[in-house]
Structure 1
């Protein structure tokens, strides 16, 4: 006989227009819906209205699977994932060309985004299972009205060591003092050019001066290093690489040069890609004694320091030299979908089971199964460019 909790769960999930997954008494199973597969009419909960690939729970005939917090975050290749990136919103006050299509994106209705309490509950589940670093992303996380309260609750989770944020810096200078009080202890600020007119071209908005002000505010508040994320594109800002390196001379800044990556709507072209090796050659051509630093096994970046400079520089080589073997990152999207690989199209909804009333053990089974399906490495550069994936603003920076 089916247990009462399972019957209740099935009752709650009986409205197929709201949920497109089924539950049996013992476990959640999964299937991957490709972008070409027909989507259930009126079922926004497990697939975006744009039709991107996701994974949702469905009836499974497999044997019950035992899941424990000790192995929930370990994939089939033995990688332990202690780093969770949480997107708080799909909205942004910039329109960066590599992040958002020129025509904009269809935003998820507010009612289908994770609430404050849902974010804290899921984060608590991950932290209690071994995650010790959370990064808040967007969209632009600072435009979420409850950002301070979210930081306060997350920073109080027992076992969390690092609460970080990636932001465009437009409104950060005013909010950062309070955010630091609420436990935000690491900051990445996106800045792709030091030229105000070029900033307006790249982001389709004004505001370069405000970003520079936010960088200075972060330094004054004691963030060390203040990380600057710079997406390098040929013919756009590759002529500024050495100017960015110069920023590290007197300030505790880590400039992170990021290879241009393909996402839906950003018109990626291999001709725009400036490979890491080429960027490093430019730096070494102008700065003498550029030293290679020791990287952590899970680092996404290759780290360097110019002799005599206060700060450092790094290169994130997602396209030319992937770092999948040491990947320890997982992503929770603003709509509650769980993504185990930035470049992988598969997603599984955590929001829908949450709202169906599942308990923590069942939620851990869903998470653990998704982590176990993570591949050894993402596809090659040109295969990534052809893979259906969401725009970066939907995924989270």
Structure 2
């Protein structure tokens, strides 16, 4: 069934939307197009990691678009393409165009580490990607190499310039800030974001996998308030505080892994094997029922603070 036909068939369901067992409306889907990455940020993927998903298990682009179409038919309005590093997968702009064309999708964004962005920014914008989130933890080249395992800060900055030239707005910089992060580095990033017209988002590291648990989180609510008070730049600065001030009560998202596994919570193991069902020949109606059953079982909240050892998979395996 073509995505448009699926949306037409499921129009009454779309009006009801996807409501979980705690009354939250789920209208945001993150789609991981690959678990591969060309960086090795310590909080995301351990050095020397080899346990990637077999390419034969990756959903094809048409399969991803089919599932995204079903979610759109059920009321999802926002889709984000993620990884790993999504721009390592061939044809991402074509996938973006297919998802942007789905009835009901009002907002299509992409998260990237920026290393490949200079080559792809114009094509992504033409394909219908509305917004970009770009990982950038420091502007110090030596520290950037230590964090990521590569000396490629100039490539990321070139990608940011290309994104701005392609007309992306807003462009958000995602910066993971932990207890050992020098505040001077954060202030330098904020000055850069303001000068370039970007938005800086400070993110607390989460204990996803052994590598994530090595980083002690800082209270970014306090840091963000202090920076904003000093500079008066609240519109240019945001904080994501899953550890110190979790926002689970307002969670509106689920994640689709590269193999089609639907992860219902970043901090829990609850999941639905949509990819396996799809490849076993499930109809759209059967997939819709599996999606609804999964959403109904979505956990109330993560357990990062009470059971930090719970999640053994790495962030790159789930999708950002």
- TM (norm. structure 1) is 0.74
- Counterpart in the other structure of 1:340: 264
Q: Which residue, 345, 357, 360 being the options, matches 2:281?
A: 357
- Counterpart in the other structure of 2:301: 377
Q: What is the DSSP-based 3-state SS (H/G/I as helix, E as strand, rest coil) of the residue aligned with 1:260? A: coil
- Where structure 2 has 5 or more consecutive residues not aligned to the other structure, the ranges are 1-11
- Counterpart in the other structure of 1:250: 195
Q: How does 1:102-113 map to 2 (within 5 A)?
A: 102-113=47-58
- Counterpart in the other structure of 1:228: 173
Q: How does 1:225-304 map to 2 (within 5 A)?
A: 225-269=170-214, 272-280=216-224, 282-284=226-228, 287-290=230-233, 304=234
- Structure 1 CA distance, aligned partners of 2:286 and 2:17? 11
Number of equivalences = 309
- Counterpart in the other structure of 1:27: none
Task: Answer yes or no: is 1:396 the counterpart of 2:293.
Answer: no
- Counterpart in the other structure of 2:109: 164
In the TM superposition, residue 148 of structure 1 has moved relative to its aligned partner by 1.5
In the TM superposition, residue 288 of structure 1 has moved relative to its aligned partner by 4.1
Q: How does 1:55-66 map to 2 (within 5 A)?
A: none
- Counterpart in the other structure of 1:28: none
Q: What is the DSSP-based 3-state SS (H/G/I as helix, E as strand, rest coil) of the residue aligned with 2:30? A: strand
- Counterpart in the other structure of 1:135: 80
In the TM superposition, residue 335 of structure 1 has moved relative to its aligned partner by 1.2
- CA deviations 1:86-145 (Å, max 9, x no partner) are 000011111111110123140111111111111011011011111111000001000111
- Structure 1 CA distance, aligned partners of 2:257 and 2:221? 32
- Structure 2 CA distance, aligned partners of 1:161 and 1:357? 29
The answer to whether the 8 A contact 2:267-2:304 is kept is no
- Structure 2 CA distance, aligned partners of 1:213 and 1:266? 29
In the TM superposition, residue 226 of structure 1 has moved relative to its aligned partner by 0.7
- Structure 2 CA distance, aligned partners of 1:96 and 1:150? 26
**CA 1:71–1:375 in 2, change beyond 3 Å: closer, same or farther?**
farther
- CA deviations 1:316-363 (Å, max 9, x no partner) are 000010111111101100111001111111211001111111111111
Q: How does 1:33-72 map to 2 (within 5 A)?
A: 68-71=13-16
The answer to whether the 8 A contact 1:343-1:389 is kept is no
**CA 1:323–1:69 in 2, change beyond 3 Å: closer, same or farther?**
same
In the TM superposition, residue 222 of structure 1 has moved relative to its aligned partner by 2.0
In the TM superposition, residue 218 of structure 1 has moved relative to its aligned partner by 1.5
Task: Answer yes or no: is 1:218 the counterpart of 2:142.
Answer: no
- Counterpart in the other structure of 1:89: 34
The answer to whether the 8 A contact 2:209-2:312 is kept is yes
The answer to whether the 8 A contact 1:241-1:279 is kept is no
Runs of 4+ off more than 4 Å: 67-72
Q: What is the DSSP-based 3-state SS (H/G/I as helix, E as strand, rest coil) of the residue aligned with 2:267? A: coil
- Counterpart in the other structure of 2:3: none
Q: What is the DSSP-based 3-state SS (H/G/I as helix, E as strand, rest coil) of the residue aligned with 2:193? A: coil
Q: What is the DSSP-based 3-state SS (H/G/I as helix, E as strand, rest coil) of the residue aligned with 2:84? A: coil
Task: Answer yes or no: is 1:73 the counterpart of 2:18.
Answer: yes
In the TM superposition, residue 165 of structure 1 has moved relative to its aligned partner by 0.3
The answer to whether the 8 A contact 1:241-1:283 is kept is no
Task: Answer yes or no: is 1:117 the counterpart of 2:62.
Answer: yes
The answer to whether the 8 A contact 2:14-2:72 is kept is no
- CA deviations 1:288-332 (Å, max 9, x no partner) are 435xxxxxxxxxxxxx23xxxxxx100000001011111110110
RMSD (CA atoms) = 1.8
- Counterpart in the other structure of 1:48: none
- Structure 2 CA distance, aligned partners of 1:74 and 1:140? 30
Q: What is the DSSP-based 3-state SS (H/G/I as helix, E as strand, rest coil) of the residue aligned with 1:176? A: helix
- Where structure 1 has 5 or more consecutive residues not aligned to the other structure, the ranges are 1-66, 291-303, 306-311
